[in-house]
Amino acid sequence: MINVEHALGIDASHLCEAKDGHRLEIRTYSAFSAMQRSAAKDNIHINIASGYRDFARQKFIWDNKWQGLRPLYSQTGEPLDAAKLTSEQKLHAILTWSALPGASRHHWGTDLDVYDKLAMAQAGQTLQLIPQEYSEKGPCSAMHKWLVKHAADFDFYMPYQDFTGGVSVEPWHLSYRPVAEKMLSLLTLPALQALLTKQNIQGKAEVLKRLPMIYHRYILNEGISDREHQEFK
């Protein structure tokens, strides 16, 4: 049975082994495999770039970005100088492209980043997971179009298909709705706050101070509130 520790990325007992060393939630993997087989009949070769990611891994990514050990980007993909950002600006820069530890949809095993492995190889490109790879002229364009048309047939959807002022557009990100919705309902603001209070993450004071905003704008991906929009102008 799904529980809050699964949703927070601190319990992986709900997972099964998927291909190429990835792990997914059991029902998600079954649905993905069926979708993968169906796509192959249309010469679309869907592969997993990233599946389950636990709290520790997400914390490692977060801490490195906060410390300037990994690059930061604006919502439009322009490099940012971390040393010139305020703590609040740094927070938003990271959250636009990376989830807060404990709040990543990749914790759930229901969400995965996908690409067309054969198309990338034929194009002679190394996967970067950038929008251009999935745009009209990108090697994963045909796969993306196929998913837009058929993903829902297998109960998958794209939670970051549109930018609303929260998480940037991620055309590679799929979510298995039947289980992901249960996970999201378990990922409450009090549960996340209780976990992060006990953890030693970089920028902890800034995160906890702004956690309600983070929860609505980025985790629920509701985007910028009317009040924030006025401040943002």
**Listed residue (142, 201, 152) closest to 174, CA to CA:** 152
DSSP the chain: ---HHHHHTS--TTEEE-GGG-EEEHHHHHHHHHHHHHHHHTT--EEEEE----HHHHHHHHHHHHTTSS-EE-TTS-EE-GGGS-HHHHHHHHHHHSPPTT--GGGTTSEEEEEEHHHHHHHT------GGGGSTTSTTHHHHHHHHHHGGGGTEE-TTSS-SSSSPP-TTEEEEHHHHHHHHHH--HHHHHHHHHTS--TTHHHHHHTHHHHIIIIIS-----HHHHHHH-
Domain count, the chain: 1
The pLDDT assigned to 224 comes to 79
CATH of residue 183's domain is: 3.30.1380.10
Question: Domain range holding 202?
Answer: 4-232
The pLDDT assigned to 124 comes to 97
The pLDDT assigned to 228 comes to 53
Q: Which residues is 114 bridged to in the sheet?
A: 48
The pLDDT assigned to 230 comes to 43
> What is the C-alpha to C-alpha distance for residues 223 and 164, in angstroms, rounded to an integer?
5
60: which 2 tokens? 């490692």
Distances in Å between the Cα of 173 and the Cα atoms of 43, 58, 97, 205 are: 20, 16, 12, 30
Mean pLDDT of 45-54: 98
Is residue 125 a contact partner of residue 133, using CB atoms and an 8 Å limit? Answer: yes
Per residue in 67-119, pLDDT tens?
A: 999 999 988 888 999 899 999 999 999 999 999 999 999 999 999 999 999 99
Per residue in 133-167, pLDDT tens?
A: 999 999 999 999 999 999 999 999 999 999 999 99
Q: What average pLDDT is seen over the chain?
A: 95
